[in-house]
Structure 1
Amino acid sequence: MLTYALTCCSTADLTPSWLDGIGVRYVFFNYELDGIPCKDDFGKTHAPKELYARMLKGATVKTSQVSIGEYMEFWAPLLEAGQDVLHVTLSSGISGTYGSACAARDALRRVFPERRLIVIDSLCASSGYGLLVDRMAQLRSAGMGLDDLASWATIHRLEVQHWFFSSDLSFFVRGGRISKVAGVVGGMLKICPVMNVEADGTLAVKEKIRTKAKAERRVVALMHQLARDGDDYAGKVFICNADCLDDARAVSDMIEAQFPKLDGPVHHFDVGATIGCHTGPGTVALFFWGASRT
């Protein structure tokens, strides 16, 4: 019997069935589409294709983190039921949700002084965050206790490698991550920037690759270079995409052919609304266990 709850946010970009299957509870992030409040609920409110189509037609989008009150409402029933809680948040490098979670934790500790509530900053994003949570769920199921699992996550979170590229730079320009001039030139030259998540949890452009096919091959080459045990990598691989499944499958086909010891096939997920509102369509992200990002 599990003695504590493991929880995360919907920005882990897995699926409800996956999270339910590994016994992880989740709370929804928020976004607005043309001023209408929505929940980042794994595409239930707006399927990715619909969301990106509306963005391409000029719809305004705005994201917001889980509020202190939402965290408190989410955790209170678990604490009332006598469970301790270990929560993992989206990276503090791209969201303020870690701060909100900590404020909610402090408030609830005064209400439930006999319970434990620990908040961990994943320093991960999207399905890389999901890969960390998935491994934590496995360790909890194997009997790892609350404090040991919190310590494990803090030690190993930077070993989740995040490598992604985008064939559509327009929303990176809108969000200020790429300058307007660089976006125009990049589009003309078919530049696909290869990006990652840094040790501090922020996003960074690492390389500028000309043509999508070369970007696909480059992220696979980076996996050869950085994956735990190199070509003998035996862990899970997660890939998510923003309405470009064919591009994601091109990457996963190469990985499955070149890494014969994988723990099962590559698992595909959608980029959720929170991340997708900033990337727009055309982004493919690859996640695996490897060298620390420090």
Structure 2
Amino acid sequence: MNDYVLSCCSTADLSKERFVDRNIQVIYFHFMIGDEDYLDDCGESVPPKELFDRMDAGEVTKTSQVTVEEYSTFFEEFLKEGRDILHISLSSGISGSYNSAVYAKKELEEKYPERKIFIVDSLGASSGYGLIMETLADMRDGGMKIDSLYKWIEANKLCMHHWFFSTDLTYYIRGGRISKAAGMIGTVLNVCPLLNMDSNGVLTPREKLRGKKKTMKRTVEMMRIHATDHEMYSGKCYLCHSICYEEANELAAMIEKEFPKLHGRVQIWNIGATIGSHTGPGTISIFFWGDKREE
């Protein structure tokens, strides 16, 4: 067995049980809702429904990334055990956590010069970042060494696609991803913007469609266009949502019908507290392997 650590941030939006089962080490972001501070601990402190219900009720959320000191403490536990580290971070396009991890690496390399510490900017987020971690865990468990795994993910990370839309534009307006005027018009006209993550790991609006049904259909079309082997895609597809159970299940069924060779069922996850604090309720995202993302 390869004796190295595969780690990520809690913003990979899988369940705590899945991280444990796949032997993926996790460091937690922080968030605040109301006057309370919490760890983004995969929904244990504040379950997803409670989080989004409170946001719906008007409570303000704030998030904070992992600090250099926290990364140093987290990494050093494994280095003391004589283990190397491959850490995949949340996209630098939406967070400074990658830079914090790199600073921690530089400090620790002086203290542990015999150890390998690789830090990778995933250029991804949420359960797409999670699907990257699952894929790396599969390769690690298949016997791939840390150097080869590091080279593989650096070469292939932009092949992870993120497509998402929202039925509630409030938090996209608040975060500046959609102008206030466009958001107000969009709300009145029932517009659902379709966004993806570009090659710089930045959330980017691509199309504006009227109504959920049309937007869901277009999301599936984007998967057909970009997925490896198109409708014959045989990889995994993950979907995450912020309390949109009915729409999430409907979209998953559409994908499973359109892609008959899919590797298992579409796996559905909850959007976590850090990502959800910025998207708000009403967001649905799909993730799959495909062609290389472009700007």
Please state which band the TM-score falls in when normalised by the shorter chain: over 0.9
- CA displacement 1:225-252 (0-9 Å, x = unmatched): 1110011100000000001021111110
Aligned to 2:251: 251
Q: Which runs of 4+ in 1 moved over 2 A?
A: none
Taking structure 1 as the reference length, the TM-score comes to: 0.98
In terms of mean alpha carbon deviation, does 158-167 or 19-28 score higher? Answer: 19-28
CA distance in 2, matches of 1:196, 1:272: 18
Output the amino acid matched with 1:234: S
Deviations 1:147-183 (A, max 9, x none): 1111100000000011000000011111111111111
- 1:235 is aligned to 2:235: yes
| Structure 2: distance between partners of 1:28 and 1:139 | 24
Within a 5 Å distance, the mapping from 1:1-294 to structure 2 comes to 1-294=1-294
Structure 2 gaps of 5+ residues are none
2: CA distance, partners of 1:2 / 1:35: 44
Letter in 2 for 1:183: G
> Secondary structure of the equivalent of 1:209?
strand
Query: Using the alignment, how far apart are the partners of 1:17 and 1:55 within structure 2?
Result: 26
CA contact (8 A) 2:2 2:144 kept: no
Q: Shift of the alpha carbon at 1:57? A: 1.7
Taking the aligned partners of 1:35 and 1:172, their CA distance within structure 2 comes to 23
Q: Which amino acid aligns with 1:285?
A: S
Contact kept? 2:2, 2:145, Cα under 8 Å: no
What is the CA–CA distance in structure 1 between the aligned matches of 2:208 and 2:147, rounded to whole Å?
42
* Distance in 1 of aligned mates of 2:129 and 2:224: 21
Shift of residue 2, structure 1, vs aligned partner: 2.4
Which range moves more in the overlay, 28-37 or 220-229?
Answer: 28-37
Kindly provide the CA deviation profile for residues 44-77 of structure 1, in whole angstroms up to 9, marking residues without a partner as x.
1111111111112221111111111111111111
Are 1:93 and 1:123, in contact at CA under 8 Å, matched by a contact in 2? yes
Percent identical among aligned pairs is 45
Q: Residue type of the partner of 1:161?
A: H
Deviations 1:82-122 (A, max 9, x none): 10000000000000000000001111112212111110000
Please report the TM-score for the alignment, with normalisation by the length of structure 2: 0.98
Does structure 2 conserve the Cα–Cα contact (< 8 Å) formed by 1:35 and 1:61? no
SS in 2 for 1:82: coil
Deviates more, 1:51-60 or 1:279-288: 51-60
Question: Could you list the runs of 5+ residues in structure 1 that have no partner in the other structure?
Answer: none
* SS of equivalent to 2:172: helix
In the aligned structure 2, how far is the partner of 1:36 from the partner of 1:7? 27
Deviations 1:176-214 (A, max 9, x none): 111111111111111000000000000000000100111
Equivalent-residue separation in structure 2 for 1:9 and 1:56 (angstroms): 26
Structure-1 separation of matches of 2:175 and 2:226: 29
CA-to-aligned-CA distance 1:110-151 (integer Å, 9 cap, x gap)? 221211111000001111111111111111111111111111
Amino acid aligned to 1:39: L
Q: Secondary structure at the match of 1:118?
A: strand
Determine helix, strand or coil for the equivalent of 2:5: strand
Give the Cα separation in 1 of the matches to 2:177 and 2:46: 25
Give, in whole Å, the separation in 2 of the partners of 1:65 and 1:275.
11
- The 2-side partners of 1:20 and 1:125 are apart by 19
Contact 2:199 2:293 in 1 (8 A): yes
- Residue 41 of structure 2 aligns with an amino acid whose one-letter code is D
1 CA distance for matches of 2:77 and 2:209? 49
1:138 match: secondary structure: helix
